[in-house]
Amino acid sequence: MTRVLVVEDEANIADFIRRGLIHMGYEVEVAQTGQDAFRSTRDRLPDLVILDLMLPDMDGVEVCRRLRAADDLPIIMLTARDAVSDKVQGLESGADDYMTKPFAFDELLARVKAALRRRSNADGREILVVGDLEIRTASREVTRGSREINLTAREFELLEYLARHAGQVVNKETLFERVWGYDFDVESDAIKVYISYLRKKLNAGGEPDLIHAIRGVGYVLKP
């Protein structure tokens, strides 16, 4: 059974999420503080974490960083903070997704399923090659020339999708559907943020850009 850790100090919200996920067949544990979350993950890591940013003992961003340092498990931030700067900080701390309260449970469930789907990768030994960039899909290893590139789970999925469609312009709506797993939100800057992350890592050695933006349409990966 897939295990989800809900880190949320508001009892009514935590119970709402817990009951909904249990009804959908998930095993759910609730932690009300960051320290409770660390204790819960010490002996057995969950398959996914739903994490509030405003916890009584520490900031959720710090919790996210420490959980991410322990393992590359999917993390969905769920918070009342809706400023763009908060979203960027949350994503930069290692979160795979960011939802604001109030929220619809069906949307949260869709994002949980999408994050878990991204977590499971194929067993083959496929290598995607674009110029001097190599992507090993099974081991999730990425290299450019002789340089290894460390990516988060979401960064890898975005790059992999672009590489599978190398030379083709992929629009933002398709990226949201195929990588994020839900419909495109015209107000979301998530794609732009993650493209910026990828460019910074892919070009860290001074290499030419492989990701090209097509104004008003989307992005294309090509040498």
Burial call 57-85: b when 16+ CB within 10 Å, e when fewer: eeebbebbebbbeeebbbbbbbbebeeee
In which band, very low, low, confident or very high, does the pLDDT at 184 lie, cut at 50, 70 and 90?
low
Tell me, yes or no, whether 103 and 180 share the same domain. no
Model confidence pLDDT, tens digit, residues 85-97: 777 777 778 888 8
Determine the pLDDT at residue 122: 39
Mean pLDDT on 71-80: 86
Is 102 found in the same domain as 17? yes
In this structure, the answer to whether residues 161 and 216 fall within a common structural domain is yes
The pTM of this model reads 0.58
Residue 114 scores a pLDDT above 90: no
Confidence at residue 68, expressed as pLDDT on a 0 to 100 scale: 84
User: Is residue 111 located within the same domain as residue 199?
Assistant: no
**pLDDT higher than 70, residue 145:** yes
Instruction: Give the residue with greater pLDDT, 202 vs 110.
Output: 202
Q: Domain tally for the chain?
A: 2
List pLDDT tens digits, range 11-53.
999 999 999 999 998 999 999 999 999 999 987 889 999 999 8
Tell me, yes or no, whether 113 and 152 share the same domain: no
pLDDT at 185: 58
CATH at 154: 1.10.10.10
Whole-Å CA distances, 43 to 37, 50, 148, 214: 11, 18, 30, 47
Identify the CATH number of the domain in which residue 64 sits.
3.40.50.2300
pLDDT more than 90, % of the chain: 46
Tell me: do 108 and 19 sit in the same domain: yes
At 113 the pLDDT is 85
In this structure, are 55 and 162 located in the same domain? no
Average pLDDT over residues 134-141: 86
CB atoms under 10 Å from CB of 162, counted, come to 25
Give the residue numbers spanning the domain of 189: 127-221
Same domain for 170 and 91?
A: no
Asked if residue 104 and residue 7 are part of one domain, the reply reads yes
Determine what percent of the chain is predicted with pLDDT higher than 70.
93
